[in-house]
């Protein structure tokens, strides 16, 4: 086990609507395409729903921007309102309190 929790983030229809609006070439992307391979974030260890809610409030902006950047890197086209309310409308998530590392390989961080 590692001292982290996991957060699985899946875009919802409003996110896909934004993708299609900023880049019409991506208009063939379906909601199923974007939810089939969700991003999983390792987050600070959370033992309770309340702990998780507090952590999510602290990190949602970074996750929001990461999701936007994964689809469109031009920040000028990103939505101006990236509040927690918008995050909740654009994404669904699952929190997992137990993370087990079954790999014998060292954990390597990519440079930003």
For residue range 37-88, list pLDDT tens digits in order: 899 999 999 999 999 999 999 999 999 999 999 988 999 999 999 999 999 9
Structural domain boundaries enclosing 85: 4-96
Mean of per-residue pLDDT scores for the chain: 91
Kindly state whether residue 111 falls inside one of the protein's structural domains.
no
Residue 27 has pLDDT above 80, yes or no: no
pTM: 0.89
Instruction: Read off the pLDDT band of 112 (50, 70, 90).
Output: low
In a domain, 78, yes or no: yes
Q: Is 102 part of any domain?
A: no
**What's the number of domains the chain is made of?**
1
Residue 103 lies in a domain: no
CB 47 within 8 A of CB 99: no
Q: Establish how many alpha carbons lie within 13 A of residue 56's alpha carbon, considering only the half-sphere containing its beta carbon.
A: 21
Query: Distance between CA 105 and CA 83 in Å, rounded?
Result: 37
pLDDT in the model for residue 98: 93
Residue 104 inside a domain? The answer is no
Q: Residues, the chain, total?
A: 112
Answer yes or no: is 88 within a domain: yes
- Residues of the chain with pLDDT > 90, as a percent, come to 70
Report the pLDDT value the prediction gives residue 31, as an integer from 0 to 100: 85
Residue 36 lies in a domain: yes
Whether residue 92 is contained in a domain is answered as yes
Tell me the C-alpha to C-alpha distance, in Å, between residue 45 and each of 32, 38, 53, 54, 93: 30, 20, 12, 11, 16
């Amino acid at each position: 086990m590692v001292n982290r929790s996991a957060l699985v983030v899946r875009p919802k229809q409003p996110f896909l609507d934004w993708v299609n609006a900023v880049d019409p070439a991506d208009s063939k992307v379906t909601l199923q395409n974007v939810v089939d391979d969700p991003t999983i974030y390792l987050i600070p260890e959370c033992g309770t729903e309340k702990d998780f809610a507090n952590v999510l409030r602290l990190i949602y902006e970074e996750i929001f921007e990461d999701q936007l950047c994964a689809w469109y890197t031009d920040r000028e086209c990103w939505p101006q309102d990236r509040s927690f309310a918008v995050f909740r409308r654009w994404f669904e998530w699952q929190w997992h309190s137990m993370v087990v590392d079954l790999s014998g390989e060292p954990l390597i961080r990519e440079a930003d």
